[in-house]
Amino acid sequence: MSMKRDQGGDGLGPELGELYASVPVPKAPAWFAAKTMARLRREEEKSRGWFGLPRWILIGAGAALLAVGWLRWESQPSVADAELFAALDAMVEEEKDSRWWAGL
Partner 1 sequence: MGEETENELDGKLVLRIAQGDEEAMRELIVRHQDRVYGTVARMIGGAGPDAEDLAQQIFIRIWKAAGKYRAEAKFTTWLMTVTRNLVFTFCETRGRKLEVSDTVLDSETEEVQEVRQPVEGRTPREDLAGKELIDAVKLACAGLPPNQRLVVHLREHEEMDFFEIGKVLGISELGAKSLMHRARENLKIKLSEFFTEPR
Instruction: For residue 57, give every residue at least 6 positions away whose Cβ sits within 8 Å of its Cβ, in sequence order, or none.
Output: 49
Q: Which stretch binds partner 1 (CB under 8 A): 35-43, 71-79, 80-88, 94-102?
A: 35-43
20 binds partner 1 (CB under 8 A): yes
Kindly tell me the sign of the dihedral angle through the C-alpha atoms of 4, 5, 10, 15. Answer: positive
Least distance from partner 1 to the Cβ atom of residue 57, Å: 16
30 binds partner 1 (CB under 8 A): no
DSSP tag of 12: S
52 binds partner 1 (CB under 8 A): no
Neighbours of 58 (CB within 10 A): 14
- Catalog residues that contact partner 1 under the rule CB under 8 A: 1-5, 7-8, 10-13, 15-29, 32-33, 35-37, 39-41, 43
